[in-house]
Amino acid sequence: MASRKKTAQASEGDQTAYQKVVGIARLEDILLVSSSFSIDPEYYAASEKTHHIHVQQEFSTFEDQAATACEFSVTAKADEKDILLIKAKFVVSYSQLQGQAGPAVEAFVKQVGVFAAYPYFRSFVSQLSWMASAQLPIAPILRLSQPGATGAPRPSD
């Protein structure tokens, strides 16, 4: 019983620290820092292909700022062969975070940062699709894995 009470108190403390970060954090920048694109000529002839989107994140802090590097990728396969690859890495940085609780800052920057960068990635993929006449499906919206989840968001199906 005592451990449940401590967990509930810790959770309330985490939420308070997180809400404080929400109130003071300022978006500084969203930067495209790397990208790559490759398409196999087989892509155009393939009648059935599967597309997948993957998201990876890294977190870092410096002075009063924190950032997440969001690496997004789209792959397409036909008959188990990779026939398309698009990668883009965006760095999203926030400032005015000095003195805030580290776990709250990391949770905020990772969760909000990926949502800030994702529209840029969708636009990037759309532009490449147009330029390559690839007719890629529209990238899905980004959702949290489950309500209240603190892990990295994932594209919906």
Q: What is the pLDDT of residues 39-49, one digit of tens each?
A: 999 999 998 99
DSSP label of 7: H
Q: What is the pLDDT of residues 106-140, one digit of tens each?
A: 999 999 999 999 999 999 999 999 999 999 998 88
pLDDT at residue 148, rounded to an integer: 46
How confident is the model over 70-83, as a mean pLDDT?
95
Spell out the domains of the chain, with CATH numbers in brackets: 2-134 (3.10.420.10)
Q: What is the pLDDT of residues 6-21, one digit of tens each?
A: 444 446 667 888 999 9
pLDDT band at 154 (very low <50, low <70, confident <90, very high): low
CA dist 152 and 72 (Å) reads 12
